[in-house]
Amino acid sequence: MKVLAGGFNFNWMEFDYPDSDGDGVLDDDDLCPNTPEGAVVDLTGCAVFNLSPENYEIAVFSETCRSSNNGSISLSALENYNYTVNLTGEDFSATETFSSEMNFENLSAGTYNICITISGQPNYEQCFTVVITEPDALVVTTGRMANPSIVNVSLEGGEIYYITLNNETIITSENEIQLSLSSGINDISVKSNKDCQGIYRETIILGNEPVVYPNPIINEVLYVNLVQKTENTTPVEIYDLAGKLIYSKSYPADTNRLEIDMSDISNGFFVLKVSTSEKIYNYKLIKR
């Protein structure tokens, strides 16, 4: 009691709410009165099982080749418990038990969900998502340049490329390279550092044949270079894959560079027909 000026008295009372184990739940409501210090508890004062995601280490190994189905997932745990792991993916499901390490092998490329539970801990589950990848397909595109003796080679899908032209091999990591052609038959083969990606082969004959470029057509203009100027007009026709004529024009004589406006032609695959006085030439075109 404290006597204040003016004759008023101020009284207070102290109430005791015991929490013996210091878990934040009063003893009257605490069903687990001896919870270890620092433990996470529920409303009844009982410890809630908790395990950090850092308890697990997951290593993912992708397929070495497309559709080889040799991917794998390695799972390890720092703390030893009786774990059950469920691995699911597209058209795949497997459940295994382990205490410290577990491996899943012979997996195809795709997304997998990993969910882990622990025996005796019905409210515990830890899930992860991982992706097994596969190498890209080897894609090789060749296109003739304005100079008919030069071919441009575009490369995709590999890390290192082995390009063989007429028995001479060039090794490169670039995605584009230009090769000098010889008169006559030119045999080109391309492979990557992964044999399972296969080999691309093409034969280019350098002679009196008109040179068509660029192919694929990236802009709106296609060029046809005639080796020699002609005395007659040069008819040019373009057909779609159904055989429908979608472009036709006769170019005047005394010119060896024909310019074709492709702006009115939609993207896709086509056949170009060039008629000279000596021969009719057909080319497969791609417009992107």
Please give the class, per CATH, of domain 136-207.
Answer: mainly beta
Sorted by sequence, the CB contacts under 8 Å of residue 140 that are 6+ apart come out as 153, 154, 155, 156, 190, 200, 202
Backbone φ and ψ for 197, nearest 5 degrees, come out as -80, -5
CATH code given to domain 208-288: 2.60.40.3080
Q: What are the sequence ranges of the domains in the chain? A: 17-48, 53-132, 136-207, 208-288
Given a cut of 80, whether residue 37 has pLDDT beyond it is no
Q: Using the predicted structure, report yes or no on whether residue 57 has a pLDDT greater than 90.
A: yes
Query: Does 7 score more than 90 pLDDT?
Result: no
- Distance from C-alpha of 171 to C-alpha of 197, rounded to nearest angstrom: 16
Burial 113-131 (b: 16+ CB within 10 A, else e): ebebbbeeeeeeebeeebe
Domains 136-207 and 208-288 in one fold = yes
Q: How far apart are the first and last CA of the chain?
A: 93
pLDDT at site 75: 97
pLDDT in tens, 9-18: 656 655 566 7
Residue whose token pair is 């990606």: 197
Residues with Cβ within 8 Å of 24's Cβ and at least 6 positions away in sequence, in order, are 41, 45
How many helices (DSSP H) and strands (DSSP E) are in the chain? 0, 23
User: pLDDT tens digit string along 165-210?
Assistant: 999 999 999 999 999 998 877 899 999 999 989 999 998 878 778 8
Query: What average pLDDT is seen over the chain?
Result: 87
Q: What is the CA radius of gyration of the chain?
A: 37
- Judged by DSSP in three states, 35 sits in coil
Three-class DSSP category at 196 = helix
Type of residue found at 140? V
Q: What CATH class has 53-132?
A: mainly beta
**What is the pLDDT at residue 228?**
67
